[in-house]
Structure 1
Amino acid sequence: MSHLKTIEQRLLWLSHWMIHHANHIRPKADAIKIGGHQASSASMVSIMTALYFSAMRVEDRVAVKPHAAPIFHAMQYLMGHLPLEKLQNFRGFHGVQSYPSRTKDVDDVDFSTGSVGLGVAITSFASIVQDYIAAKTWGQELPMGRMVALVGDAELDEGNIYECLQEGWKHDLRNTWWIIDYNRQSLDGIVREGLFERIEKIFQAFSWQVIRIKYGALQHAAFAEPGGAALRAWIDACPNQLYAALTFQGGAVWRQHLLDDLGDQGEVSALIARRSDAELAELMENLGGNCVQTMAETFAAIDHDRPTCFLAYSIKGWGTPIAGHKDNHGGLMTKAQMAEWQAHMGVPEGQEWEPFATVADPKALQDFLSKAPFFAKGPRQFTDAALQVPQITAGSDRDISTQMGFGKILDDLAKSDSDLAARIVTTSPDVTGTTNLGPWVNCRKLFARTVQADTFQDQKIPSTAKWEFTPEGQHIELGIAEMNLFLLLGALGLSHALFGKRLIPIGTVYDPFVARGLDALNYACYQDARFVIVGTPSGVTLAPEGGAHQSIAAPLIGMAQDGLAAFEPAFVDELAVIMAWAFDYLQRDGTGDPDERTWLRDETGGAVYLRLSTNPIEQPGQRADQAFRQGAIDGGYWLRPPGPNCDVVIAYQGVIAETRRDVGVLAVTSADRLNAGWTAAQRARARGNPAAISHIEHLLGALPAHCTLLTVIDGHPATLAWLGGVRGHRTIPLGVEHFGQTGTIGDLYRHFGIDAASMVERIASLTAGARPAGH
């Protein structure tokens, strides 16, 4: 236990010195405060020491509370996994990040955190993913780890946490620990009295074990003394704000207040009198979450796999001069405070960065660290071999929607025996049938750890849906919560790195409700999770459903979201080409320069967004030429090439497709990829490469200067309006800018001016005497 206490004190110092150095010593380039959350780190140091150096095994995974990042980085430095220059550049360019990041930090981060609440919730979905893999014949050797979240008590205000609890209960969640840093202080104030009782009841309602860790070893010893019961009762009754204020004021004030409340009781007064001011302050601040011994013993006592919530009482800023102060969340120790605290911590000047600066026996401590099970095998990031993508073809139907085509492609894969099909896992928030996943699910079944029969089948009631739950199932059904969908996709899309088993996750959602889970989508992409999200049905094309179900801004989300390649094909053969490419793209992890053909960094891979429609349109027939296939992947191709003196070009994305003999027609399958390649090529030219030409620049390069672009999309017109800036062509963007309403597709297309007649009218007005003189 002495080694744990030594580690705790080393981490406390190193984390706070790192923050102090960044704010008060490192030269500043501007006047903006760097920050770093010293107090929030201090409240977690005992918990994290006990967890990492006593309780956890190498197969366990942790989501670190965002504001405890300095403790995490200090730990990696102490273990020799992080170079000093990274620590010295905390919150600087290419230094360790403000909050733990899988993609930006070089330490061994399991889950990125930062958008509070999401890092907590993803651990429960990661546990479900672990169970999913372990249930398969190809994953049964997987060692079962615990998915651990270090939780700030203020994070419990986030609604996605409670959505996650409900979904975990449905899926028989296990092997999940949430350790709540119950310091009762947030950014703006003190947590409401009695919150712990509500927290406990909520977790117990969803079958979690709740362990309240209120007192440390010193307090337990004091409670056993004569008068200890009265002291314990006073602690239990003390309001959060008063406890924090007394902590900040120190031992003498503690003594006066306790004597005022408990004096003249003989045994209690003697208990207080036996301790100096410093010892009394240490006793009163020895809450369970600030006692490394208590935390280690509590973790060691868990002998089951039930989901467990540890409610660890702590002091915000524990062990530092700013402990308990209501402003300490973003506050920093002053230079004077740090100098005084450095002397208190026993760190000699000039040895501030020395890992073992205050350690009496460095060799013994190093030997202890080398045997810590969690760190025994070094970095714990895995990989898995890429899966070969089988041939994917489109049906021959003359009239078919892209959503129906998506279902047919998955149905064909479900009936195959390819390795890729075995690793596909689908999920949907209660819209499985209406997003055309039904045939896939009927063939590949739903996942549950124990078999659950379909009562309708057993009762021989006719139904198109065969809802059989089994460990072999490959569809994870969710309730109506889009945040849960994207958190699950994030966990599934990290399976190769977390568990060494690659999955091909596909999620479906009604396109307008992508926005309901946008924070979790962004979070999944920030972690570089690999998945396909299918937004369908989409746009005002979903006419009878009304404005509440008609997406407008979704194409702009697809363009703006980093780590996500967005497509909106019009034809099913385009979709087939894109899906085959996407299955390969999900598995890429290369590095290097951009592809000079498109200026896209495709070798790095990423997630994919498909915006599909329920509107069946006439298909163009068999197209097997490479130019079409490559164009569909790169983002666009000429459906009808323009003539040498073309006056008008229609550029469309999605099912808004209109062909006329006298105009060129540009099929845009991905405004996202066209735009990304264009901006990348511009950057390359600015850096001295005049030969950098993007795909869209090649496509529009042959158009005469007088040509007008008429862009059209069932979505916000800004999605394609930028095309006019590529070569300076006049552009008239058509699309949807306002909420729709119930009606027929024809009604709504006419209302928004994106129907064929409206396009013809605009083209006629453009071409009637519009050509400049000399042409």
Structure 2
Amino acid sequence: MNEAGIGRIEAIEALTRKSLWLASWMVHHANHIRPNVDGVKVGGHQASSASMAALLSSLYFGVLRPEDRVAVKPHAAPVFHAIQYLMGRQAKEKLVDFRAFGGAQSYPSRTKDSDDVDFSTGSVGLGVAFSAFASLVQDYVRAKDWSRKDVPEGRMIALAGDAELDEGNIYECLLEGWKHGLRNCWWIIDYNRQSLDGVVREGLYERIEGIFAAFGWKVVTLKYGALQRAAFAEPGGESLKAWIDACPNALYSALMFRGGAAWRERLSDEIGDQDEVSALLARRSDDELAALMANLGGHCVESLLEQFEAAGSEQPTVFIAYTVKGWGTPLAGHKDNHAGQMTGDQIEQLRRSHNIRPGYEWDLFEGLDHPDALQGFLDRVPFNTRASRRLTSPVVPTIGPQLLGTGPTSTQAAFGRILDAIAKTDSELARRIVTTSPDVTVSTNLGAWVNRRNLFAPGEMADLFQKEAIPSTQKWRFGPDGQHMELGIAEMNLFLMLGAAGLSHSLFGERLLPIGTLYDPFIARGLDALNYACYQDARFLLVATPSGVSLAGEGGAHQSISSPLIGMAQDGLASFEPAFADELAIIVDWAFDYMQRSGDARPDLADWPRDVTGGSVYLRLSTRSIDQVPREVNSLLTNSVIGGAYWLKKPTPECDVVIAYQGVLASEAIAAAARLGGDRRNVAVLAITSADRLNAGWQAAQRARLHGDKSLSHIEDLLSEIPHRTGIVTAIDAHPATLGWLGSVLGHRTIALGVEHFGQTGTVPDLYRHFEIDAQAIETACRHFIPRA
């Protein structure tokens, strides 16, 4: 008990009740009081928030330190926002506008919310796995001799509903965490035994416990609260405990909804004919009996604090917290309560039970005793620091494009050589790069980098082949100084790792420049996690190779078609597909700068929106070698490559046709132009390095013109050099829609060539001819725009 007459547990229990009320009222206000201008359901999750009220309150008001990072169960967003409001980190107006434009977000968002969100959790399951990779990144950073010593080691914590454990990425993550010695990670499962559409199957607890134990996790079960444990110690208590343990999930939920009288009737019928048990029940009123049966471990602040404070950090720990969905509300236990909301009568019932006067619903301590003492308690909460929990790290200088020779090469091979050239330097840039790959390190040309910079592990591990004098091109040593994180074959894990590493500057105060490589067609396998990483504004370089049907011998399963469209559509990701090594060198150097940018200017009115604030970068590369163009790399070429396109063969006023290509089809475009040139026709060749940059710049320029800005985008400038009668033939080893929009820029007639169907095995000439993207097909398409003599 403190000097103000309120103890720690009593204070957190009071703040739990307040958080529960605010969360419930927030959803009710959004759906039933705030005007609904479009008639669309607003939604919210009163029951899912209620089941986590005590869990979140015990963490934020009792256990967490500022260096700890938390991924909150997405459906518990209302109670999270309420807790932030109580700590002064969220404005009342944001709660009033919950799920409205400019208000608190439906699910905690690192980039959209104004309160203290560590990890966005809008996509179920991903926030859970993300916390584990954040812990691995923290260990990586702290192992380096350049890491900050003033940033304490934090715990990476995720709170998840039991239904989220259906998500496959969680189990992929468990295996990866075991391989890398995961530590400093807590997962807290809201085991309310209900999912979106009903009650979970019996026996789930045993499966959860067994799976986590198999991967080396400590399993802590929070099943009984302090009231229940006290009752079990009474005469007849063991019989009550045995009944609770044997009770099916659906029955327990139903009795929770029906209340104390129903509990008494059921317990009296099944175990109450014993004198001791009958007396145990008789000593409690219906309300007291209902409170006893609802006093599961996940709702008992005393039990939660006891277990959280006893848990260590060296072993990953999962807390299985038994809860009731809708706890503390009239919705408690009903199987339809996931998306259900309290009626007007029910919210009034809750209001009365919390002593909330009409008109005082948003007041911090309305209905609570000792408001001054509670405010004093909040001021002393360790997590409630006034300092920003988002850290900063200086920008790492780039070292300029690493230019290569002029012999034939593929962009994939050129990437490996560029990275090897950086690895040879003693630059800060080289030290801050961390690479990762889902078991395709060698086949994506990271081998030379790893040979020079080694693989990361907390302790030294020798290369056994090298130790046994067995010849091998891969000299892979593991150690704390290593700069490559090797992953298993799971693209979801790759993007979660890139996301966590790409937030290291903010989470741990040390900037990393993460590079992830994978096969281009398998981007789709991790697309949810890629989108999630970009949504958090994580910064990384994604290198996808090999790509397209140019990977001729591998067949349709390994040949990508739609990935350039993914690169164009994905927010927060600038995508490029260079053809030549010098283009790639320019882009890689630019990418390291772009990944570190931040700013508050109007990015929506910039020539390319993200140029102001930066983002992540995606490179689509090829294994097919092509002849290089000998030329000087000057500022004009550099700016054009980054802008997205340049004239490889400039047009004249008599230009009949433009061949616009992206990527590896440069050879076919050049060959087709040469054939047409033999007929003395004027043919221009437009080298496109980024359809994404061109399209986004064009879209931004059109929006800017609506605001009175008359400037042209880069692609408008380029195409303004050709007559309106000129035709455009686009060619790409990917879906033709990637470049097909070029004709819409200034109204030129356009034929778009590309790949629309699954590939197959064969030689490059066979497949190019089959899909009509070879030089002959490009020439044939061009002749449709050339007047006959």
Q: 2:555 aligns with which of 546, 549, 560?
A: 546
The answer to whether the 8 Å contact 1:508/1:536 transfers is: yes
Q: How far apart are 1:765 and its partner, in Å? A: 3.9
Matching residue's letter, 2:755: V
Q: 1:257 aligns with which of 244, 258, 266?
A: 266
SS of match in other structure, 2:574? strand
Which residue number corresponds to residue 478 of structure 1? 487
TM-score, normalised relative to structure 2: 0.96
Q: Matches of residues 360-399 of structure 1 in structure 2 within 5 Å?
A: 360-399=369-408
Matching residue's letter, 1:411: D
Deviations 1:74-96 (A, max 9, x none): 01111111111111000000101
Deviations 1:606-655 (A, max 9, x none): 00000000111111113223221101001111111111121110000001
The answer to whether the 8 Å contact 1:58/1:377 transfers is: no
**Inter-partner Cα distance in structure 2 for 1:285 and 1:361:** 26
Residue 131 in structure 1 maps to residue 150 in structure 2: no
Residue 663 in structure 1 maps to residue 683 in structure 2: yes
The answer to whether the 8 Å contact 1:44/1:68 transfers is: yes
Residue 733 in structure 1 maps to residue 752 in structure 2: yes
Q: Matches of residues 520-531 of structure 1 in structure 2 within 5 Å?
A: 520-531=529-540
**Identity over aligned pairs, percent:** 63
Q: Matches of residues 11-160 of structure 1 in structure 2 within 5 Å?
A: 11-139=19-147, 141=149, 142-160=151-169
SS of match in other structure, 1:766? coil
Matching residue's letter, 1:752: F
Which residue number corresponds to residue 773 of structure 1? none
Matching residue's letter, 2:105: Q
Listed as ranges, the gaps of 5+ residues in structure 1 are 771-775
Residue 678 in structure 1 maps to residue 686 in structure 2: no
Which residue number corresponds to residue 238 of structure 1? 247
Q: 2:352 aligns with which of 337, 343, 350?
A: 343
**Inter-partner Cα distance in structure 2 for 1:63 and 1:423:** 26
Aligned length: 769
**Inter-partner Cα distance in structure 2 for 1:765 and 1:260:** 88
SS of match in other structure, 1:733? strand
Matching residue's letter, 2:70: V
**Inter-partner Cα distance in structure 1 for 2:336 and 2:605:** 52
**Inter-partner Cα distance in structure 2 for 1:654 and 1:304:** 48
**Inter-partner Cα distance in structure 2 for 1:320 and 1:596:** 48
**Inter-partner Cα distance in structure 2 for 1:321 and 1:595:** 46
Deviations 1:435-463 (A, max 9, x none): 00000000000000111111000001111
TM-aligned CA distance change 1:583 to 1:235, over 3 Å: same
**Inter-partner Cα distance in structure 1 for 2:277 and 2:471:** 75
Residue 216 in structure 1 maps to residue 225 in structure 2: yes
The answer to whether the 8 Å contact 1:193/1:240 transfers is: yes
Q: How far apart are 1:55 and its partner, in Å? A: 1.3
Matching residue's letter, 1:526: Y
Deviations 1:28-47 (A, max 9, x none): 11211111100000000011
Q: 2:181 aligns with which of 172, 178, 188?
A: 172
**Inter-partner Cα distance in structure 2 for 1:596 and 1:314:** 49
Matching residue's letter, 1:201: G
**Inter-partner Cα distance in structure 2 for 1:671 and 1:184:** 48
**Inter-partner Cα distance in structure 2 for 1:263 and 1:152:** 34
The answer to whether the 8 Å contact 1:396/1:621 transfers is: no
The answer to whether the 8 Å contact 2:543/2:618 transfers is: yes
Matching residue's letter, 2:697: G
**Inter-partner Cα distance in structure 2 for 1:537 and 1:682:** 35
Matching residue's letter, 1:31: G
Which residue number corresponds to residue 741 of structure 2? 722
Q: 2:719 aligns with which of 687, 696, 700?
A: 700
**Inter-partner Cα distance in structure 2 for 1:596 and 1:654:** 29
**Inter-partner Cα distance in structure 2 for 1:296 and 1:43:** 17
TM-aligned CA distance change 1:594 to 1:448, over 3 Å: same
Residue 8 in structure 1 maps to residue 8 in structure 2: no
Residue 204 in structure 1 maps to residue 175 in structure 2: no
Deviations 1:41-63 (A, max 9, x none): 00000111111111111111000
The answer to whether the 8 Å contact 2:331/2:342 transfers is: yes
**Inter-partner Cα distance in structure 2 for 1:217 and 1:49:** 17
SS of match in other structure, 1:375? coil
Which residue number corresponds to residue 470 of structure 2? 461
**Inter-partner Cα distance in structure 2 for 1:764 and 1:518:** 40
**Inter-partner Cα distance in structure 1 for 2:309 and 2:112:** 33
Matching residue's letter, 2:15: I
**Inter-partner Cα distance in structure 1 for 2:312 and 2:646:** 60
Deviations 1:552-607 (A, max 9, x none): 00000000000000000000100111111100000001121349783433010000
**Inter-partner Cα distance in structure 2 for 1:381 and 1:724:** 45
**Inter-partner Cα distance in structure 1 for 2:154 and 2:345:** 45
SS of match in other structure, 1:374? coil
Q: 1:641 aligns with which of 647, 650, 659?
A: 650
**Inter-partner Cα distance in structure 2 for 1:159 and 1:697:** 45
**Inter-partner Cα distance in structure 1 for 2:402 and 2:470:** 34
**Inter-partner Cα distance in structure 1 for 2:329 and 2:82:** 17
Which residue number corresponds to residue 6 of structure 2? none
Q: How far apart are 1:532 and its partner, in Å? A: 0.4
**Inter-partner Cα distance in structure 2 for 1:245 and 1:324:** 6
Matching residue's letter, 2:365: F
Q: Matches of residues 498-513 of structure 1 in structure 2 within 5 Å?
A: 498-513=507-522
SS of match in other structure, 2:383? helix
**Inter-partner Cα distance in structure 1 for 2:135 and 2:502:** 13
Q: How far apart are 1:684 and its partner, in Å? A: 1.4
Matching residue's letter, 1:106: S
Residue 748 in structure 1 maps to residue 767 in structure 2: yes
SS of match in other structure, 2:308? helix
The answer to whether the 8 Å contact 1:219/1:287 transfers is: yes
**Inter-partner Cα distance in structure 1 for 2:293 and 2:309:** 25
The answer to whether the 8 Å contact 1:504/1:583 transfers is: yes
The answer to whether the 8 Å contact 1:709/1:731 transfers is: yes
TM-score, normalised relative to structure 1: 0.98
SS of match in other structure, 1:131? helix
**Inter-partner Cα distance in structure 2 for 1:2 and 1:222:** 20
**Inter-partner Cα distance in structure 1 for 2:535 and 2:261:** 48
The answer to whether the 8 Å contact 2:605/2:700 transfers is: no
SS of match in other structure, 1:114? coil
TM-aligned CA distance change 1:739 to 1:176, over 3 Å: same
Q: Matches of residues 184-583 of structure 1 in structure 2 within 5 Å?
A: 184-583=193-592
TM-aligned CA distance change 1:595 to 1:311, over 3 Å: closer
The answer to whether the 8 Å contact 1:533/1:610 transfers is: yes
**Inter-partner Cα distance in structure 1 for 2:783 and 2:169:** 52
Q: How far apart are 1:292 and its partner, in Å? A: 1.2
Deviations 1:498-520 (A, max 9, x none): 01110000000000000100000
